[in-house]
Amino acid sequence: MNPDHHTLLALFDREMREHARPDGPGVRVEHTGDVVRQVGTADDWNAVVWLAPDLDPARADAVIAAQVAHYTALGHDEFEWKLYGHDRPAGLADRLLAAGFEAEEPETLVVAPVGKLSTEVALPEGVRLRTVRDADDVELMARASERAFGSDWSRLRHQVLTRLAEDPDDFVGVLAMAGDEPVSAARMELYPGTGFAGLWGGGTVEEWRGKGVYRALVAFRARIAAERGYRYLQVDASDMSRPILQRLGFTALTTTTPFVYRPH
């Protein structure tokens, strides 16, 4: 029997947020009263990932100010407060904005039991998948992702290279290649000690969209997750990928919005 929506969201909050693990070598997770945060170098993902469910308006502003002071003292050019739609207190988004954070595009947290997902990889003619093995492959990932999303991949390049070199067992990078050209790239983060694996990336260049490449990347990673004994896949889904994922068997649990603070 699969857990219901509320049970699954509570499991995600506990395993992936309150008891978060560092997402790569050289970073640490700090539990500081009302928040759990990840701290690393300026090239790592620095973020507040959980906050106490009983956080009230009276102390929310002080908690926000403390995180700004902490990361600013480290000299980083930015950090993220990863706000979920069910986080409390109500109005926390407005408090973050008032404190100088900028809201980026909201996404939808979707989760699926691995055992319910298809692991059949069906690719359009002329496309093949292969795992990422070395720095040259990471450059191909960067090329595909920058073309697909139109965003700078320099920080992710550092993170993926570090994972590949120092923590390859809990990281899977995948390339979709049409001849010698990368047309899509994706990765999977495995979280030992939890039942979850996370799907990230999955950006496909425009001329190859709508041909099943994204679905194939999901199935490929679902197969690996199943082989390694993970129970759930989670995705922070964009408006473009969410309908595809829901058709594949994922359930929407809540929204998640990056609030980014950049010291002026």
Rounded Cα gap, residues 171 and 160, in angstroms? 9
Residue 192 structure tokens: 């030992």
CATH architecture group of domain 5-108+257-261: 3-Layer(aba) Sandwich (3.40)
Rounded Cα gap, residues 18 and 5, in angstroms? 18
Q: pLDDT confidence of 100, banded at 50, 70, 90?
A: very high
Burial of 182 (0-12, 13-18, 19+ CB in 10 A): buried
Asked whether this chain's domains 5-108+257-261 and 113-253 adopt the same fold, the reply is yes
Map out the domains of the chain as residue ranges: 5-108+257-261, 113-253
Which CATH topology does 113-253 take?
Aminopeptidase (3.40.630)
Residue 144 structure tokens: 């595909």
String of DSSP letters for 33-46: TTEEEEE--TTS--
Question: pTM for this one?
Answer: 0.94
> What does the pLDDT look like over 111-168, one tens digit per residue?
999 999 999 999 999 999 999 999 999 999 999 999 999 888 888 899 999 999 998 9
Rounded Cα gap, residues 55 and 72, in angstroms? 23
> What does the pLDDT look like over 170-225, one tens digit per residue?
999 999 999 999 999 999 999 999 999 999 998 899 999 999 999 999 999 999 99
